[in-house]
Structure formats: C-alpha cells, structure tokens
C-alpha cells in the first residue's frame, strides 16, 4: 500500500523540478536512486490514465443523453471502466515507477520539523525514475478531473440547485383534454360510478410527476368540496393527482362500499403505506401517514363532451417536504 500511495502523490502532485535542481536533504539522499524507468512503463501509465479520462467523459455523455440505447449497461461499463483503468494505472506506476526502499527506525514524537522534511524528501526522491513527468502530470490531472466529475454527475441531477421553480411545474393548463390509458379522449358520459380511471394531459409526457391523475365519479349529492371548488366536478366527476402526498407512490386502489350501512365511504388508497383520501371532500386525508390532501384538478366538459382541465392543481404535486405549503403549482 505504501508504494501505491507514493505513486498517487507523484502523479497528482507532480515533480516540477528535476532532481538535479532540488536541494539536497539534511543528510544526503534517503531513497537510493533507482535506474531509469522503462519508457514503455511511463507511456503505459499515461495511456491508462487517458483511457480512464475518456471513459469518465463517456459516462457523463451517456448519462446526459436519453437517445442512447441500454443506458444502464453503458453507464455501468463507462464508470466502472474509468475506475478500473485508474486503478491499473496506479498499480503500474507503483510497481514500475516508484523505487522500493525500506528504512527501519524508531517512532518519534509527532510534529518534528526534521521528520517532516525527511518525508517530503522521500516523496520527491521517489520520483527519480520518472522522465516523462509533464506527460504523467497531464494524464493524471485529466483522469482525476474526468473520473471525479463522472462520480458526482448523478448527484448534480437529483434536482435543481438554486432555482426550484421547475419542481412546481405541471403540464396541466386550462382546456387540455384528459386522455385515458388507451390513448383516447375521456368522454364525461362514459365515466361510470364505482370505477377507477387514470388520465393524462393531451400532448404531454406521461412520465412527468404532475401528469397522471385519477378520475372517479360520485353522486353529486355526496360531494362536499370546498366552496371555491364548487364548479370543479361536472356531473360528479372529480380528478386528483395520482402521486401520493406521503412518499410519492402511485394512488392505485379505489375503495368502494359493497354494503353501505357498514362499509366506509368511497376513498382513494395508496398501496405503499395505505394513506387514504376522500374524493368527495377534496381529497382530504382520512387515514394513514400522508400529511396533506391530494391536489385536485379542476374539470370542465367541452362542447364535444370530452373532459378538459379547468386549470391547474389546487396544490403542489408530490410528497410532503418543507416547501409544499408555501407555493402552489405553476
């Protein structure tokens, strides 16, 4: 491990001065000068570092490009290959470019200036065999930068760093038609009671967080929506975000009473942690860990009989984190 560590120091930090220009140590050389390293070893280390750098850049390209097929496999190959070639380069440098020297002495008290100078001298003299220092420094710097950036690239895409407005953006706008799972417009008179539907905004990507909604129909007399939403449920049809406000799972269950005198009223249920929402009361939470109601989408019926969005959601779509109560969707 000692020589690998010394090889890493030699490649990353470099040796800016020739050994002949370096001041001698306090008591002469500590590390015996080794024979010049084979030129092929230096070129091999530089080539390995450059390959690692190219693979790191390749990972960032694959990660940022959606058109690449089998992205997961290519991401694993490029990032894993970058670390592999970097490791091989360090091992090769440790075996062929750093001379071996064993010095036996007693342990001294820490923070001795003379000992610190000796360690610095050992590091400098360990590169005595290296003749292509600038090439190795350049290749090492490129590999370190590329592999480092490749390693942190996924973290940079977890979300916007400063401007978080895009987290509140949804594709819904007034007048957009609701499209069912079958890709056809959803007609209001075809929405049946005691049935669970999933719909999406017309001409929008279905995998967007704010795109999917659940649609159910209730007897108008059972609706107890807030006064400002009185016109949001034409013919008793209501729509809510399909994303649970607890942990972001999909609302995938619809509880309907099979024997009204004993069964609870209809509800939307998240199967992950069983958060339960009342569609008749604006999606309010009636059971489970969810911290706020499901955002409701206002509906209207177009002249062609197709359900359309009457605007945007009543609240921010997604799990309950610290900012959901401060601003609405855009």
Q: At 226, which CATH number?
A: 2.102.10.10
One domain for residues 46 and 109 = yes
Instruction: Flag whether 322 is in a domain.
Output: no
Question: Closest by alpha carbon to 248, among 228, 220, 271?
Answer: 271
> Tokens 């991401």 belong to which residue?
75
Token pair recorded at residue 250: 């999909």
Instruction: Flag whether 96 is in a domain.
Output: yes
One domain for residues 152 and 194 = no
- As a whole number of angstroms, the distance between CA 169 and CA 28 comes to 69
Confidence bin at 19 (pLDDT 50/70/90)? very low
One domain for residues 77 and 102 = yes
- As a whole number of angstroms, the distance between CA 240 and CA 256 comes to 17
Residue 90 near residue 82, CB atoms below 8 Å: no
Confidence bin at 124 (pLDDT 50/70/90)? low
Q: pTM for this structure?
A: 0.55
Q: What percent of the chain has pLDDT over 70?
A: 68
32 lies in which domain range?
2-156
One domain for residues 43 and 170 = no
Confidence bin at 120 (pLDDT 50/70/90)? low
Of the three residues 156, 181, 210, the one that is the final residue of a domain is 156
How do residues 245-294 score in pLDDT, each as one tens digit? 998 899 999 888 776 666 678 899 999 999 999 999 999 999 999 988 99
* pLDDT tops 70 at residue 167: no
- pLDDT for the residue 3: 56
Least confident of 31-40, 55-64, 265-274: 31-40
One domain for residues 125 and 238 = no
Instruction: Flag whether 329 is in a domain.
Output: no
Instruction: Flag whether 324 is in a domain.
Output: no
Residue 313 near residue 297, CB atoms below 8 Å: yes
Instruction: Flag whether 328 is in a domain.
Output: no
Confidence bin at 163 (pLDDT 50/70/90)? low
- pLDDT for the residue 17: 46
Token pair recorded at residue 192: 């049946």
- pLDDT for the residue 199: 95
- pLDDT for the residue 15: 45
Q: How many domains does the chain have?
A: 2
* pLDDT tops 60 at residue 27: no
* pLDDT tops 70 at residue 197: yes
Q: DSSP for 40-61?
A: HHHHHHHHHHHHHHHHHHHHHH
One domain for residues 79 and 195 = no
Question: What φ, ψ does residue 258 adopt, rounded to 5°?
Answer: -95, -15
């Amino acid at each position: 491990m000692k020589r690998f560590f010394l090889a890493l120091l030699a490649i990353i930090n470099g040796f800016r001065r020739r050994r002949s220009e370096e001041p001698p140590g306090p008591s002469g050389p500590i590390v015996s000068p080794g024979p010049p390293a084979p030129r092929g070893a230096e070129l091999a280390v530089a080539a390995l570092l450059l390959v690692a750098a190219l693979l790191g850049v390749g990972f960032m390209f694959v990660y940022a490009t959606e058109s690449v097929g089998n992205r997961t496999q290519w991401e694993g190959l490029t990032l894993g290959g970058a670390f592999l070639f970097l490791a091989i380069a360090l091992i090769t440098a440790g075996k062929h470019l750093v001379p071996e020297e064993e010095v036996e002495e007693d342990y001294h008290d820490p923070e001795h200036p003379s000992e610190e100078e000796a360690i610095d001298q050992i590091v400098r003299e360990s590169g005595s065999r290296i003749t292509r220092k600038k090439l190795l420094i350049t290749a090492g710097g490129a590999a370190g930068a590329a592999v480092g950036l490749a390693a942190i690239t996924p973290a940079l895409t977890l979300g916007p760093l400063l401007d978080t407005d895009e987290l509140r953006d949804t594709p819904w706008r007034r007048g957009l038609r609701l499209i069912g799972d079958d890709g056809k417009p959803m007609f209001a008179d075809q929405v049946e009671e005691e049935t669970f539907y999933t719909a999406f905004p017309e001409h929008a990507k279905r995998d967007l967080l704010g795109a999917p909604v659940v649609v159910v129909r209730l007897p108008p007399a059972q609706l107890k929506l807030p006064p400002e939403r009185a016109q949001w449920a034409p013919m008793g049809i209501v729509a809510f975000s399909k994303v649970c406000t607890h942990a972001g799972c999909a609302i995938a269950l619809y509880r309907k009473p099979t024997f009204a005198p004993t069964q609870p009223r209809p509800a939307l249920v998240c199967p992950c942690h069983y958060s339960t929402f009342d569609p008749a009361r604006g999606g309010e939470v009636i059971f489970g860990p969810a911290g706020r109601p499901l955002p409701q989408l206002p509906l209207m019926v177009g002249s062609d009989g197709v359900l359309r969005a009457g605007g945007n959601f009543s609240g921010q779509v997604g799990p309950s984190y610290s900012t959901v109560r401060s601003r609405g969707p855009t």
